[in-house]
């Protein structure tokens, strides 16, 4: 029997682990762009003997993107994937820069496809190198623990089974399996922050500090994610304890440790309707000042037109038009 090349074995083992808790007859979908990571992922998912379908997203951001999507779909059908879907999206009018807009459109399309097809999971091909880049970008933005925890292995319908697999191994796996990956020009375009991190920042760190840097950054993300999960659980309990008839009790909030209080205020702001992507560190600091630095200051304005004031020992939401 021919020996399985180690990179192929590594990808297959990671996928098997990532699907181990799902019923054997569950439909699994793979999000595949045609790049090395998602091709290796798709091949491994098919090898696992599951019901596996494939979804490829055409963002219409490059000339010939429709042809590439059809090519990926044709490969998938020939390889036994069923169902196979092409999702065509538009990024026009979506918030954020081109990267953020494309990501929003892509995840919406993938979520909708999974729901329509009744899939148990949608697999994404992010690798350990992607995780390391994500952590560096979060550090550059001054992100807190939630940002530094990187991409979760699971969130909702989405799963990332390759977060412990290197990008080099997915490329080697494709070569061993005779797969021809597509090289996305956006991945080397210096107009994109992630491309600059990939081409320059991370390699410079590796040169200066050694080859273990990407693995160490990814491990750091995993450790911080575990801490975040514990703190989030504590903050959920603290939020319930701080609730009052009108909002949140200031004395109860003041008695919390800062790390918990910040999470409580962030979670509460989300309950009020503040979008997570727009809720910034400064908003939470301003809410915290109503608790710990009170000197009669005015209201705090949160995204989505939400306004919070301190009244008689409580933080309460008020209607901005009624503020004198």
Mean pLDDT split into 10-residue runs, the chain, 324 residues: 86 96 95 96 94 93 86 96 93 73 90 97 97 95 89 96 97 96 83 90 96 96 95 97 96 96 96 88 95 93 94 92 52
Whether 198 and 162 have beta carbons less than 8 Å apart is answered as no
Considering all CA atoms of the chain, what is the largest pairwise distance in Å, rounded to the nearest integer? Answer: 81
Q: Which of 33, 30, 75 is nearest to 51 (CA)?
A: 30
Q: Which residue has tokens 């750091």?
A: 220
Region label for 122, one of left (φ > 0), alpha (ψ between -120 and 50) or beta (otherwise): beta
Note the pLDDT of residue 102: 83
Q: How far is CA 3 from the centre of its chain?
A: 35
Task: Report the distance separating Cα 47 and Cα 242, nearest Å.
Answer: 51
The two beta strands, 300-302 and 306-311, are antiparallel
Note the pLDDT of residue 191: 82
Q: What share of the chain is helix, strand, coil (3-state, %, to 5)?
A: 55, 15, 30
Note the pLDDT of residue 96: 66
Task: Report the distance separating Cα 130 and Cα 150, nearest Å.
Answer: 9
Q: What is the pLDDT of residues 90-104, one digit of tens each?
A: 877 776 677 778 888
Task: Report the distance separating Cα 56 and Cα 189, nearest Å.
Answer: 22
Number of C-beta neighbours around residue 319 at 10 A: 8
Q: Which of 106, 118, 39, 116 is nearest to 79 (CA)?
A: 39
How many helices (H) and strands (E) are present in the chain, helices listed first?
13, 10
Q: How far is CA 320 from the centre of its chain?
A: 34
- Kindly give, in sequence order, each residue whose CB lies less than 8 Å from that of residue 155, ignoring residues fewer than 6 positions away: none
Task: Report the distance separating Cα 123 and Cα 120, nearest Å.
Answer: 10
Region label for 313, one of left (φ > 0), alpha (ψ between -120 and 50) or beta (otherwise): left
Note the pLDDT of residue 188: 80
Whether 265 and 287 have beta carbons less than 8 Å apart is answered as yes
For residue 296, give both structure tokens.
């009669």
State the Cα angle at 167 between 39 and 197, rounded to 5°.
120
- Kindly give, in sequence order, each residue whose CB lies less than 8 Å from that of residue 139, ignoring residues fewer than 6 positions away: 148
- Kindly give, in sequence order, each residue whose CB lies less than 8 Å from that of residue 109, ignoring residues fewer than 6 positions away: 55, 57, 87, 89
Read off the pTM. 0.88
Whether 266 and 285 have beta carbons less than 8 Å apart is answered as no
- If you write DSSP's letter for every residue of 308-320 in order, what string do you get? EEEETTEEEEE-G
For residue 7, give both structure tokens.
């990179």
Q: Which residue has tokens 């920042």?
A: 201
Task: Report the distance separating Cα 77 and Cα 7, nearest Å.
Answer: 24
The two beta strands, 121-123 and 247-249, are unpaired
Q: What is the pLDDT of residues 212-241, one digit of tens each?
A: 999 999 999 999 999 999 999 999 999 999
Strand partners, 150: none
Task: Report the distance separating Cα 32 and Cα 28, nearest Å.
Answer: 13
């Amino acid at each position: 029997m021919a020996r399985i090349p180690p990179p192929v074995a590594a990808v297959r083992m990671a996928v098997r682990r990532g699907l181990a808790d799902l019923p054997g007859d569950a439909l699994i979908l793979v999000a595949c762009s045609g790049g090395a990571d998602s091709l290796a992922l798709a091949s491994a998912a098919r090898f696992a003997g599951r019901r596996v379908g494939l979804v490829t997203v055409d963002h219409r951001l490059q000339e010939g993107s429709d042809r590439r999507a059809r090519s990926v779909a044709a490969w998938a059908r020939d390889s036994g994937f069923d169902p196979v879907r092409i999702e065509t999206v538009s990024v026009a009018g979506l918030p954020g820069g081109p990267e953020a807009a494309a990501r929003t459109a892509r995840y919406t399309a993938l979520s909708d496809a999974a729901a329509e097809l009744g899939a148990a999971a949608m697999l994404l091909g992010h690798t350990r190198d992607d995780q390391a880049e994500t952590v560096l970008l979060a550090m550059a933005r001054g992100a807190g623990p939630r940002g530094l925890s990187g991409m979760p292995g699971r969130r909702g319908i989405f799963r990332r089974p390759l977060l412990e697999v290197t990008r080099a191994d997915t490329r080697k796996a494709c070569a061993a399996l005779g797969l021809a990956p597509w090289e996305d020009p956006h991945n080397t375009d210096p107009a994109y922050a992630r491309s600059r991190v990939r081409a320059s920042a991370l390699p410079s760190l590796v040169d200066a500090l050694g080859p273990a840097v990407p693995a160490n950054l990814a491990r750091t993300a995993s450790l911080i994610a575990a801490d975040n999960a514990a703190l989030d659980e504590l903050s959920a309990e603290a939020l319930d304890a701080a609730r009052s008839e009108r909002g949140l009790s200031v004395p109860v909030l003041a008695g919390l440790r800062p790390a918990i209080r910040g999470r409580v205020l962030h979670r509460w702001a989300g309950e009020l309707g503040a979008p997570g992507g727009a809720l910034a560190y400064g908003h939470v600091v301003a809410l915290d000042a109503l608790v710990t630095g009170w000197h009669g200051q005015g209201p705090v304005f949160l995204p989505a037109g939400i306004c919070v004031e301190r009244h008689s020992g409580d933080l309460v939401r008020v209607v901005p038009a009624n503020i004198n």
